[in-house]
Structure 1
């Protein structure tokens, strides 16, 4: 199995400094998460973002609250602190300067590029959905106030026009709001979806770009694995057999397993035969000690891409964004 083109690694640093990439995708940015205290018994999630700079070939720390990188890795969409934000910035990654601001009529707390890089999708909230209140001394007990999710914004990047589409958050049988969920693009970018809280992670509620429910829409292949469907559309990433670690690749048409990998999670397709995965450090004594690995469908070809992270379940761990380059 031939290795993918242009494999770039940074295994020497605890957090990446040099570009990590393989085949069609790269780590375009990553975030380091923590909890910021905002009151005696309240806090909120704080992401510190590191964005790739093609001029220096390195990742640099930013002050943005949220960001996502467009296919081609020339533009990033950014949100200012504090959330929710009233505008989206389009940032030139080579200069680190915002070239355009898109004003919004409803504030948002996240942003993502469409697969073809022509549109932006942002979920609208009245309040920051990451805030926790009534924290116990050990931080294990808390409340999450209703963040007031109001719908989603779609931005046409070429014109800068933003359109808001109201979609009420789901509520349970007692009329209490369900945990806040964000909208994401369907695989082909023609629809957006949110998880169907009534049926579980593998069910989605789809909407067209005008905010209309599309129960008749063709469904994406959905698994716990972030990699999803291969570039040629023939294969998809799936889980393995407990106790693991194990992941699998299956045929879309038949569901048959065509490859097994001793990985924790499959994150992105490098090409039609290789994936970027989360692999255990050592003999996998601790699943929270892991790093990025390039692995073939057959599980035999392996290249370590990043240094291993420790205690990934705790604040201070970094989380990558993968973008088509």
Structure 2
């Protein structure tokens, strides 16, 4: 985004930032203001003046929690499963606590253009959720009050929004970023970068204070990767993880490509640290058990529970993005519920989710 529209957005952000101390809802206003600026710009391009006027008529309503009907839990859970009450229509007014004591920290849609659905982010200072209608993607940190925002009109920048003040710091990452992943402590985000002109890959580490470093990775030969190639974090947040394609196995576009393992790199200097023979892709830091013995991966035929050191498959996992609450319990999204199960697959608790979170990608973290 260049020229007058960008100047207008910058002016709006500076205006909001300047009144940060006196306006507790400033972050919500900043998210809504970005949305309104984008709608005004697009409306001018296609001649839709009426749409721009409508966007200006409700300056703060876009970020307010909306009433929602109750969510009906699965009517046929195992009798021994503890089913928690469905959240009420005011669920955004407090953290959404999940079985095991974790919380939903955010929910975002991904795609192209203006998001088809809204998103939500937990403001831990205010202990409530803000609605995001201003950015195509918003990735909440597991701790603290910062989130990564992606504006498709600024493909070479990645934004860091302070949810307390509403200030957005745009960092020049140089290339479009693929799904930012936060470290478990919420101090760093790793982004996957592809230079379309040179076809060179790298990963970038973005500090919460705006510092940014990139490290090239040879995915074409040395660290061969095809299909989905995204850098994520280890459980301790010291290393980033990249899946590796098995070059000796046939590949098909109709199923996930075969994996030979994952390569880990230092998040501090980018050097390769260790290789683990895992037959699939870990979804992120919570995929690794706290004791480091087991990991949940996305296998070719479904999610698997795997021994970290040997790659031996212990059995099926309940979901490819299941999170280890401790060394014996997993938390995962199933249908309309979040489910807590033990390592043997026995369901322990269910928590219905608000309907507003349907089809959005959830971020969860310890409370």
Query: What is the TM-score normalised by the length of structure 2?
Result: 0.55
Report the CA distance between 1:28 and its aligned residue. 0.9
Please tell me whether the aligned partners of residues 184 and 194 of structure 1 are also in contact (alpha carbons under 8 angstroms).
yes
**Contact residue 33 and residue 48 of structure 1 kept, 8 A:** no
Alignment-derived partner of residue 217 in structure 1: 274
Matched residues in 2 for 1:253 and 1:73: separation? 32
Choose from 129, 149, 157 the match for 1:86: 157
Task: Extract unaligned runs of 5+ from structure 1.
Answer: 1-6, 38-44, 128-145, 172-176, 280-288
SS at structure 1 position matched to 2:274: coil
| Structure whose residues are more often helix by fraction | 2
CA offsets, 1:245-304, max 9 Å, x none? Answer: x977676679695x988x45561122333221233xxxxxxxxx5532122334444222
Hey, which of these two has a bigger chunk of strand by percent? 1
Distance in structure 2 (CA, Å) of the matches to 1:188 and 1:36: 35
Residue 93 and residue 147 in structure 1: after superposition, are their counterparts in 2 closer, same or farther (change >3 A)? farther
Change (3 A) 1:11 1:74: same
1:230 match: 289
The structure with more radius of gyration: 2
Q: How does 1:64-213 map to 2 (within 5 A)?
A: 64-82=135-153, 84-89=155-160, 91-95=161-165, 97-98=166-167, 100-126=169-195, 148=199, 150-158=201-209, 160-167=210-217, 169-170=219-220, 178-179=226-227, 181-199=229-247, 200-201=258-259, 203-209=261-267
Count the aligned residue pairs: 266
Given the superposition, is the C-alpha separation of residues 231 and 210 from structure 1 closer, same or farther in structure 2, using an over 3 Å criterion? closer
Across the aligned residues of Structure 1 and Structure 2, the Cα RMSD in angstroms comes to: 4.6
Q: Give me the whole-angstrom Cα distance separating, in 2, the residues matched to 1:10 and 1:202.
A: 43
In structure 2, the residue matched to 1:286 is none
Shift of 1:51: 1.3
Change (3 A) 1:49 1:83: farther
Point out where structure 2 has 5 or more consecutive residues left out of the alignment: 1-81, 248-257
